Amino acid sequence: MATYRRSPQGDVGLQALIDDSPAPRARMSTAAETTLICGLGSALTATFSILFGVTLVLGTLAVLTGLVGLITTHRPDVAGSALNVLGFCLGLLAIAVVGIRYLGIDTAIGDPLVPWLAEQLHHWNAKLPQPH
């Protein structure tokens, strides 16, 4: 049985309770984190026709690491199954958007935003100090 040091007020230290907690220590799955990042990247780039190659690479990575994440997050000491499923679905969605584009349906809804984004980048870059 664990013994706890009490403060002068009679309280048990919170850290002592946390350290002796019977809850199992879980770690986050690296594959799940990678899946989420690649899935988000592929979903964000899928609407720009100039970035379809990047979308395919990130989407494929999201799907492959998602499969690994499904296996690793099945264990009770590994967390991240929700992140993994979200990234996996985003990767599949991005690949589907590119596939629909190749079927002839225009999915590049972000292309009209490119001039505005370039203007914003130039505007904010002008405010930064320039190297000499």
pLDDT digits (tens, 9 = 90+) for 71-109: 998 888 888 999 999 999 999 999 999 999 888 887 777
Decide if 70 is inside a domain: yes
Secondary structure class of 5 (helix, strand, coil): coil
Contact by Cβ (8 Å): 73, 32:
yes
Comparing C-alpha atoms, which of 73, 38, 80 is closest to residue 59? 38
Decide if 16 is inside a domain: no
**pTM above 0.85?**
no
Look up the domain containing 85 and give its range. Answer: 25-109
**Which residues make Cβ contacts (< 8 Å) with residue 43, sequence separation at least 6?**
90, 91, 93, 94
Q: How confident is the model at residue 2 (pLDDT cuts 50, 70, 90)?
A: low
pLDDT in tens, 20-79: 666 667 788 999 999 999 999 999 999 888 888 999 999 999 999 999 999 998 888 888
Q: What pLDDT is recorded for position 113?
A: 84
Domain count, the chain: 1
Decide if 105 is inside a domain: yes
- Chain centroid to CA 114: 24
